[in-house]
Amino acid sequence: MDRGHAPDPRLLQIAATFSELGAWRQDCGVAGVLHACGTSYQILRAPPDSLHTLADCWALMQDADRDSVIAAQARCESQGLAYALDLRLKQRATVPLWVRVQAEPVLDEQGRVTATQGVFRDISAAKLAEASLQESEMRFRALIEGVERVSVQGYDSQRRVIFWNKASERLYGFSAEEAIGQKLEDLIIPPEMRELVIAGTQQWLQSGVVSVPAEELVLRHKNGSPVPVFSSHSMQRSGSGEALLYCVDVDLSERVQAEAVRHQLELRLREAQKLEALGTMAGGIAHDFNNVLGAILANVSLASALLAEDHPARQPLRLISRGGERARSMVQKMLAFSRHAPHSLEVIPLAEQVKDNLALLQASLPPRVSLRIVEADESLRVEADASELQQVLFNLCTNAWQALPAQGGKIEVGLRACHLPEDRPELDLPAGDYAHLFVRDDGSGISEETRARIFEPFFTTKPVEQGTGLGLSVVHGIVRSHRGAVALESQLGAGSCFSVYLPSYTGAAVQAPSPGPQAHGPAALPAQIAVRPQVLYVDDDEVMRLTVEGLLRRAGYRVLLCASVDEALASLAAYGQDIAVVVSDYNMPGRDGLGLAKAMQSSHPQLPLFLSTGYVSEHLQQQVQAMGLARLIKKEHLLDELVPSITQLLAGGNAPRSW
């Protein structure tokens, strides 16, 4: 605009018309009059010609705001202080009405205030937007603070914490007061990630772009423990343009723990399946091996009986017999592992059983080994096979003894009641009350690799000829067959502790059956039997048939041999009136020994039948009892039990049915 000319009044009118500001001026003093433009009236929602002084303007304001603007105007007139205030109008509307007043003094040449001038501005829309923004921010903060498992942190361009929600406090252990102002890498970043995080965040903050996708990370708790999270990142700009980094971390601790438990359960399932397969194989081997053992031991006995006491062959035969007996013991261990060996269940006071067994074991330990009971709950009772529990305790204590160093050590045995909760999946036991038997040593400990195979049959870390690898597998088989579990805790150099959990007794006692005949070797026929009885022996194994034939003939019996059930039934049809007793193998091709028993119940119901087998299962026991068979004999005991049982039966007594 040309400085030499006065502004065109029309232009000033146009500017005033289109301006959003309401200009005003008021002279000082009692006679001071307010000059306000039309826009001022519109902004203040004032009737025309109603504003004569600023007091008329202040009367339109809410009472809470009026005193502050009157005081500010007084200071402006008396002290020449400019002011700016946001005020609320009294007039009711759908939204609150806000006015911003800005004023400054008008000074004369001597610097005295002669008037004040200023503007009114309608800021209702801005205030509404500000309130909405504040409400939105409050809702956002409440949302972020209220999410329990989602940690949100904010960092400035120097990686200093500017925001730290409650979930961050719980997840990382630092309170907001501790975290605010600290650097990211000094709080939750593990040392091995520190340099990478610093370089990465610097690049993000400089470029304003996050170049790494969301990913799973393992960060650090205040106490130093690892914190698994799923972490995502976002870049924002502050009002001043500063780049800000926000991290959103989802706590994965429960998922990681669940995956670890699942992994352990999968390992245990595979281990259980492997042990089950090994058990099935061991049971099958034991069956076939018992057939061989029965033939070997019986023929050794027969051969020894034919030789003079001073015959040089007797010593080799004794060695063969000793080896066979050792093999028989190993078969029993294999059966115990495979759970094919039946139980003689009875209610046992467990503390008394443990004390008696340890008294027997104590005598076999060297003086440098200390064996003691550290606690024993006298009230605990379990339903179990006493001899098998003795084997469990002996095997665990022997294993502990062998783990001790050469200079000796201590073995502690304890018995306590416990209640297993449902959150012990590693034991694979239902929740309930259990007897907890533990054997603890201070020996060399067991490595993780060895623990993974500790219950496998034939696995041993001992030198050749010093262990069979069956001791702990037998423990596992016996305990599982008693509906219990075995657990191991060990640390290299700090010893081991084996824990056995057995269900506490709550029901009626099951009495152990009486023992079978203990006679050994062939027995002579009773004097009252005048005619040599005939025995029908059925077995698909030719060696066993010939062995049993020799055994029975030497005892004075006539023998008729058959290789199958069909052949036996044909012989019964032809010679049944001359046969006194039938002895049959259980496991044969085609029809088995129980098939023969069922056929005889129809054709020869009064004829007694003995059944022999390589191993005796509980199911087979139940079938034999239900059919009322005379006796069930283990193949490896055939030499000791067959002739005495037949002789007792024919002498008029009942052959015992225990096995």
Summarised one tens digit per residue, pLDDT across range 37-58 is 888 999 999 998 899 999 999 9
Sign of CA dihedral 271, 277, 281, 284: positive
For 521-578, the pLDDT digits (tens) are 444 444 444 457 899 999 988 888 888 888 888 888 999 999 999 999 999 998 888 8
Specify the DSSP class assigned to residue 381. Answer: E
State residue 201's pLDDT score. 81
Burial of 475 (0-12, 13-18, 19+ CB in 10 A): buried
Burial of 24 (0-12, 13-18, 19+ CB in 10 A): buried
Pairing relation of β-strands 409-420 and 369-376? parallel
For 197-227, the pLDDT digits (tens) are 888 888 877 776 776 778 888 999 999 999 9
Sheet holding 432-441, edge to edge: 369-376, 409-420, 432-441, 495-503, 485-491
For 403-449, the pLDDT digits (tens) are 888 788 888 999 999 988 765 666 778 888 899 999 998 888 888 77
For 475-499, the pLDDT digits (tens) are 888 888 888 888 888 888 888 898 9
- Report the distance separating Cα 74 and Cα 105, nearest Å: 11
- Report the distance separating Cα 433 and Cα 421, nearest Å: 9
End-to-end CA distance of the chain: 127
- Report the distance separating Cα 387 and Cα 341, nearest Å: 12
State residue 492's pLDDT score. 85
Q: Which of 68-77, 144-153, 543-552 has the lowest mean pLDDT?
A: 144-153
Cα→Cα distances 652→372, 396, 577, 602, 643, Å: 52, 46, 18, 24, 15
How would residue 653 be classed by pLDDT, with cut points 50, 70 and 90? low
State the residue for tokens 């960092």: 155
Domains annotated for the chain, with CATH where assigned, are: 17-128 (3.30.450.20), 147-251 (3.30.450.20), 345-503 (3.30.565.10), 534-650 (3.40.50.2300)
- Report the distance separating Cα 442 and Cα 127, nearest Å: 77
**DSSP codes, 399-460:** HHHHHS-TT-EEEEEEEEEEEE-TT-GGG---SEEEEEEEEEE-SS---HHHHTTTTSTT--
**Residue 177 confidence (pLDDT) above 60:** yes
- Average of per-residue pLDDT values in the chain: 80
- Report the distance separating Cα 374 and Cα 411, nearest Å: 10
Specify the DSSP class assigned to residue 591. Answer: S
State residue 521's pLDDT score. 44
State residue 358's pLDDT score. 83
State the residue for tokens 């062998």: 402
Provide the token pair at 413: 């045995």
Looking at per-residue confidence, does 132 or 614 come out higher? 132
φ and ψ of 192, to 5 deg: -70, -15
- Note whether 474 and 462 are within 8 A (CB): no
Task: Look at residues 90, 101, 88 and name the one whose alpha carbon lies nearest to residue 128.
Answer: 88
**Residue 655 confidence (pLDDT) above 60:** no
